[in-house]
Protein backbone atom coordinates (compact mmCIF):
# COMPACT_ATOMS: atom_id res chain seq x y z
CA UNK A 1 0.00 0.00 0.00
CA UNK A 2 1.19 3.52 -0.78
CA UNK A 3 2.00 6.14 1.80
CA UNK A 4 -0.81 7.97 3.62
CA UNK A 5 -0.03 11.67 3.87
CA UNK A 6 -1.75 13.98 6.37
CA UNK A 7 -1.71 17.73 5.69
CA UNK A 8 -2.93 19.93 8.54
CA UNK A 9 -4.04 23.58 8.35
CA UNK A 10 -3.26 24.91 11.84
CA UNK A 11 -5.92 27.02 13.57
CA UNK A 12 -7.86 28.48 10.61
CA UNK A 13 -10.18 30.08 13.21
CA UNK A 14 -7.26 32.27 14.42
CA UNK A 15 -4.95 32.41 11.41
CA UNK A 16 -7.34 32.46 8.48
CA UNK A 17 -7.29 36.20 7.74
CA UNK A 18 -5.10 36.17 4.64
CA UNK A 19 -6.36 33.14 2.74
CA UNK A 20 -3.30 31.07 3.61
CA UNK A 21 -5.53 28.07 4.31
CA UNK A 22 -5.33 27.64 0.54
CA UNK A 23 -1.80 26.31 1.03
CA UNK A 24 -3.21 23.16 2.66
CA UNK A 25 -5.64 22.69 -0.19
CA UNK A 26 -2.91 23.10 -2.80
CA UNK A 27 -0.65 20.57 -1.07
CA UNK A 28 -3.49 18.06 -0.78
CA UNK A 29 -4.53 18.53 -4.42
CA UNK A 30 -0.99 18.23 -5.77
CA UNK A 31 -0.56 15.01 -3.80
CA UNK A 32 -3.95 13.60 -4.88
CA UNK A 33 -3.33 14.47 -8.56
CA UNK A 34 -0.29 12.20 -8.33
CA UNK A 35 -2.32 9.34 -6.92
CA UNK A 36 -0.97 9.82 -3.37
CA UNK A 37 -3.37 8.90 -0.58
CA UNK A 38 -3.74 12.26 1.19
CA UNK A 39 -5.93 13.64 3.95
CA UNK A 40 -6.45 17.38 4.54
CA UNK A 41 -7.33 18.29 8.12
CA UNK A 42 -8.49 21.70 9.32
CA UNK A 43 -7.39 21.95 12.96
CA UNK A 44 -9.36 24.39 15.14
CA UNK A 45 -7.58 25.97 18.13
CA UNK A 46 -9.97 24.50 20.73
CA UNK A 47 -8.99 20.89 19.96
CA UNK A 48 -5.73 18.97 20.29
CA UNK A 49 -3.58 19.40 17.20
CA UNK A 50 -3.81 16.27 15.03
CA UNK A 51 -0.81 14.15 14.14
CA UNK A 52 0.21 15.22 10.63
CA UNK A 53 3.14 14.97 8.23
CA UNK A 54 2.90 18.54 6.99
CA UNK A 55 1.55 21.57 8.89
CA UNK A 56 0.67 24.91 7.34
CA UNK A 57 0.28 27.97 9.58
CA UNK A 58 -1.17 31.14 8.08
CA UNK A 59 -1.12 34.87 8.71
CA UNK A 60 -3.35 36.66 11.18
CA UNK A 61 -3.86 39.71 13.35
CA UNK A 62 -1.66 40.42 16.36
CA UNK A 63 -4.12 39.16 19.05
CA UNK A 64 -4.99 35.82 17.43
CA UNK A 65 -1.29 35.35 16.63
CA UNK A 66 -0.44 35.50 20.36
CA UNK A 67 -3.30 33.09 21.17
CA UNK A 68 -2.12 30.66 18.48
CA UNK A 69 1.48 30.74 19.73
CA UNK A 70 0.44 30.24 23.38
CA UNK A 71 -1.93 27.40 22.54
CA UNK A 72 0.59 25.61 20.32
CA UNK A 73 3.30 25.94 23.00
CA UNK A 74 1.03 24.60 25.77
CA UNK A 75 -0.34 21.87 23.56
CA UNK A 76 3.09 20.65 22.45
CA UNK A 77 2.17 18.49 19.43
CA UNK A 78 3.75 20.72 16.79
CA UNK A 79 7.18 20.87 18.43
CA UNK A 80 7.14 17.11 18.99
CA UNK A 81 6.10 16.39 15.40
CA UNK A 82 8.93 18.63 14.12
CA UNK A 83 11.37 16.61 16.25
CA UNK A 84 9.93 13.50 14.58
CA UNK A 85 10.50 14.98 11.11
CA UNK A 86 7.21 16.67 10.23
CA UNK A 87 7.32 19.54 7.73
CA UNK A 88 6.10 23.06 8.64
CA UNK A 89 5.23 26.01 6.41
CA UNK A 90 4.65 29.23 8.37
CA UNK A 91 3.35 32.34 6.62
CA UNK A 92 3.62 35.85 8.09
CA UNK A 93 2.10 35.56 11.60
CA UNK A 94 2.69 31.82 11.22
CA UNK A 95 6.31 32.55 10.25
CA UNK A 96 6.83 34.92 13.18
CA UNK A 97 5.33 32.58 15.77
CA UNK A 98 7.50 29.60 14.85
CA UNK A 99 10.48 31.87 15.57
CA UNK A 100 11.90 32.74 18.98
CA UNK A 101 9.92 35.90 19.74
CA UNK A 102 7.53 38.37 18.14
CA UNK A 103 5.73 41.52 19.33
CA UNK A 104 2.10 41.68 20.43
CA UNK A 105 -0.22 44.59 19.54
CA UNK A 106 1.33 46.70 22.37
CA UNK A 107 4.85 45.86 21.19
CA UNK A 108 5.59 43.57 24.14
CA UNK A 109 7.76 40.62 23.10
CA UNK A 110 5.95 37.28 23.12
CA UNK A 111 7.62 33.93 23.17
CA UNK A 112 7.48 32.00 19.89
CA UNK A 113 7.79 28.25 19.48
CA UNK A 114 11.51 28.41 18.72
CA UNK A 115 11.25 26.05 15.74
CA UNK A 116 13.19 28.57 13.66
CA UNK A 117 16.04 30.84 14.77
CA UNK A 118 14.17 34.07 14.01
CA UNK A 119 13.43 37.17 16.07
CA UNK A 120 10.71 39.65 15.14
CA UNK A 121 10.16 43.19 16.40
CA UNK A 122 7.84 45.98 15.34
CA UNK A 123 9.19 47.93 12.39
CA UNK A 124 9.69 51.67 12.86
CA UNK A 125 8.47 52.64 9.40
CA UNK A 126 5.27 52.05 7.47
CA UNK A 127 3.65 48.62 7.41
CA UNK A 128 5.00 46.50 4.54
CA UNK A 129 2.09 46.08 2.14
CA UNK A 130 2.30 45.06 -1.52
CA UNK A 131 3.70 42.61 -4.01
CA UNK A 132 6.88 40.82 -2.99
CA UNK A 133 9.30 39.16 -5.41
CA UNK A 134 12.38 37.33 -4.15
CA UNK A 135 15.03 35.06 -5.65
CA UNK A 136 15.95 31.99 -3.59
CA UNK A 137 19.57 31.79 -2.46
CA UNK A 138 21.71 29.08 -4.05
CA UNK A 139 21.86 27.41 -0.63
CA UNK A 140 18.05 27.19 -0.42
CA UNK A 141 16.68 23.66 -0.62
CA UNK A 142 16.13 22.55 -4.20
CA UNK A 143 12.73 21.79 -5.63
CA UNK A 144 13.65 18.37 -6.98
CA UNK A 145 16.67 16.54 -8.28
CA UNK A 146 19.07 19.29 -9.28
CA UNK A 147 16.32 21.87 -9.75
CA UNK A 148 16.74 25.11 -7.84
CA UNK A 149 13.64 26.91 -6.60
CA UNK A 150 12.50 29.55 -9.08
CA UNK A 151 11.92 33.10 -7.88
CA UNK A 152 9.13 33.53 -5.40
CA UNK A 153 6.09 35.73 -5.93
CA UNK A 154 3.34 36.75 -3.52
CA UNK A 155 2.10 39.69 -1.51
CA UNK A 156 3.05 40.86 1.93
CA UNK A 157 1.16 42.69 4.67
CA UNK A 158 2.98 42.98 7.97
CA UNK A 159 4.25 45.40 10.58
CA UNK A 160 6.85 43.05 12.03
CA UNK A 161 10.53 43.08 11.05
CA UNK A 162 12.36 39.76 11.34
CA UNK A 163 16.03 38.91 11.76
CA UNK A 164 17.25 35.41 10.91
CA UNK A 165 19.69 34.01 13.48
CA UNK A 166 22.74 31.79 12.84
CA UNK A 167 20.81 28.53 13.32
CA UNK A 168 18.50 29.20 10.37
CA UNK A 169 19.14 30.38 6.83
CA UNK A 170 17.38 33.13 4.92
CA UNK A 171 15.40 31.72 2.02
CA UNK A 172 15.62 34.37 -0.70
CA UNK A 173 16.93 37.79 -1.71
CA UNK A 174 14.26 40.48 -2.10
CA UNK A 175 13.95 42.02 -5.55
CA UNK A 176 10.76 43.93 -4.94
CA UNK A 177 9.06 44.67 -1.64
CA UNK A 178 10.31 44.39 1.94
CA UNK A 179 10.39 40.74 3.05
CA UNK A 180 12.03 40.13 6.43
CA UNK A 181 12.76 43.85 6.63
CA UNK A 182 15.75 43.63 8.98
CA UNK A 183 18.01 45.55 6.60
CA UNK A 184 19.79 42.60 4.98
CA UNK A 185 17.44 42.35 1.98
CA UNK A 186 16.32 38.80 2.77
CA UNK A 187 12.95 37.10 2.65
CA UNK A 188 11.83 34.06 4.61
CA UNK A 189 13.92 31.47 6.43
CA UNK A 190 14.32 27.74 6.76
CA UNK A 191 15.99 25.24 9.00
CA UNK A 192 15.66 21.49 8.55
CA UNK A 193 12.13 20.93 7.28
CA UNK A 194 10.69 24.09 8.81
CA UNK A 195 10.23 26.94 6.37
CA UNK A 196 8.72 30.39 6.86
CA UNK A 197 7.90 33.26 4.54
CA UNK A 198 6.09 36.58 4.42
CA UNK A 199 4.51 35.62 1.11
CA UNK A 200 0.73 35.36 0.91
CA UNK A 201 -1.01 34.51 -2.33
CA UNK A 202 -1.49 31.81 -1.14
CA UNK A 203 2.23 31.35 -1.62
CA UNK A 204 1.90 27.76 -2.88
CA UNK A 205 -0.63 28.76 -5.56
CA UNK A 206 1.89 31.13 -7.10
CA UNK A 207 4.96 28.99 -6.36
CA UNK A 208 4.17 25.37 -7.11
CA UNK A 209 7.85 24.39 -6.93
CA UNK A 210 7.78 25.37 -3.27
CA UNK A 211 4.64 23.26 -2.78
CA UNK A 212 6.44 20.29 -4.35
CA UNK A 213 9.52 20.87 -2.21
CA UNK A 214 7.35 20.63 0.94
CA UNK A 215 5.56 17.55 -0.42
CA UNK A 216 8.88 15.98 -1.34
CA UNK A 217 10.14 16.52 2.20
CA UNK A 218 6.96 15.11 3.71
CA UNK A 219 7.02 12.02 1.47
CA UNK A 220 10.72 11.37 1.94
CA UNK A 221 12.40 9.82 4.93
CA UNK A 222 12.54 12.11 7.96
CA UNK A 223 16.25 11.33 8.31
CA UNK A 224 17.04 12.21 4.68
CA UNK A 225 19.13 15.33 4.03
CA UNK A 226 17.00 18.41 3.20
CA UNK A 227 18.16 18.28 -0.40
CA UNK A 228 17.00 14.69 -0.83
CA UNK A 229 13.37 15.48 -1.63
CA UNK A 230 11.26 12.62 -2.94
CA UNK A 231 10.91 12.76 -6.72
CA UNK A 232 7.40 13.75 -7.71
CA UNK A 233 5.70 13.18 -11.02
CA UNK A 234 5.48 16.50 -12.93
CA UNK A 235 2.02 18.06 -13.23
CA UNK A 236 0.53 20.25 -15.92
CA UNK A 237 0.93 23.62 -14.22
CA UNK A 238 -0.43 25.74 -17.05
CA UNK A 239 -2.84 27.69 -14.84
CA UNK A 240 -0.27 28.19 -12.12
CA UNK A 241 2.31 29.41 -14.65
CA UNK A 242 -0.28 31.80 -16.06
CA UNK A 243 -0.90 33.18 -12.57
CA UNK A 244 2.84 33.62 -12.00
CA UNK A 245 3.30 35.33 -15.36
CA UNK A 246 0.39 37.66 -14.75
CA UNK A 247 1.58 38.60 -11.24
CA UNK A 248 5.23 39.06 -12.25
CA UNK A 249 4.30 41.11 -15.29
CA UNK A 250 1.99 43.28 -13.18
CA UNK A 251 4.99 44.41 -11.12
CA UNK A 252 7.41 44.59 -14.05
CA UNK A 253 9.64 41.87 -12.58
CA UNK A 254 12.63 41.44 -14.92
CA UNK A 255 12.10 37.81 -15.90
CA UNK A 256 8.39 38.18 -16.70
CA UNK A 257 9.26 37.65 -20.35
CA UNK A 258 10.93 34.39 -19.48
CA UNK A 259 7.67 33.25 -17.99
CA UNK A 260 5.83 34.49 -21.06
CA UNK A 261 8.02 32.19 -23.17
CA UNK A 262 7.25 29.26 -20.88
CA UNK A 263 3.55 30.03 -21.23
CA UNK A 264 3.78 30.21 -25.01
CA UNK A 265 5.43 26.82 -25.05
CA UNK A 266 2.73 25.36 -22.81
CA UNK A 267 0.02 26.87 -25.02
CA UNK A 268 1.54 25.42 -28.20
CA UNK A 269 1.33 22.00 -26.61
CA UNK A 270 -2.50 22.27 -26.25
What residues make contact with ligand GLN under the rule CB under 6 A?
18, 59-62, 65, 92-93, 157-160
- Find the shortest distance in angstroms from Cβ 187 to ligand GLN: 14
CB 110 within 8 A of CB 103: yes
Specify the residue, 15 or 52, whose C-beta has the smaller distance to ligand GLN: 15
Q: Closest residue to ligand GLN, Cβ-based?
A: 59
- Find the shortest distance in angstroms from Cβ 257 to ligand GLN: 31
Neighbours of 98 (CB within 10 A): 29
CB 3 within 8 A of CB 219: yes
From residue 5, how far is each of 24, 68, 90, 220 by CA, in Å? 12, 24, 19, 11
Written as one string, the DSSP assignment of 194-240 is EEEES-BTTHHHH-HHHHHHHHHHHHS-TTS-TT-PPP------HHH
Q: Which of 92, 158, 167, 257 is labelled catalytic?
A: 92
CB 38 within 8 A of CB 28: yes
Specify the residue, 141 or 159, whose C-beta has the smaller distance to ligand GLN: 159
- Find the shortest distance in angstroms from Cβ 93 to ligand GLN: 3
- Find the shortest distance in angstroms from Cβ 94 to ligand GLN: 7
Specify the residue, 6 or 168, whose C-beta has the smaller distance to ligand GLN: 168
Which 3 state secondary structure label does DSSP give 49? coil
92 flagged as catalytic: yes
8 flagged as catalytic: no
Of 2, 5, 12, nearest to 57 (Cα)?
A: 12
Specify the residue, 62 or 175, whose C-beta has the smaller distance to ligand GLN: 62
Q: Which sequence positions are flagged as catalytic?
A: 92, 200
Amino acid sequence: MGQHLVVCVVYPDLLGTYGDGGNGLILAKRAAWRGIDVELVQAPSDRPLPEADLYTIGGGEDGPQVRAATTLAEEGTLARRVEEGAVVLGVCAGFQLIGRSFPDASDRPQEGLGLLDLTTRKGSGARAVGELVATPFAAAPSAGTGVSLPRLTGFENHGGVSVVGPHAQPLARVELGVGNGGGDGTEGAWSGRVLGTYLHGPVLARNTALADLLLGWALGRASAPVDAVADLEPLDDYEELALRAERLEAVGAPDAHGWRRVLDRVRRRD
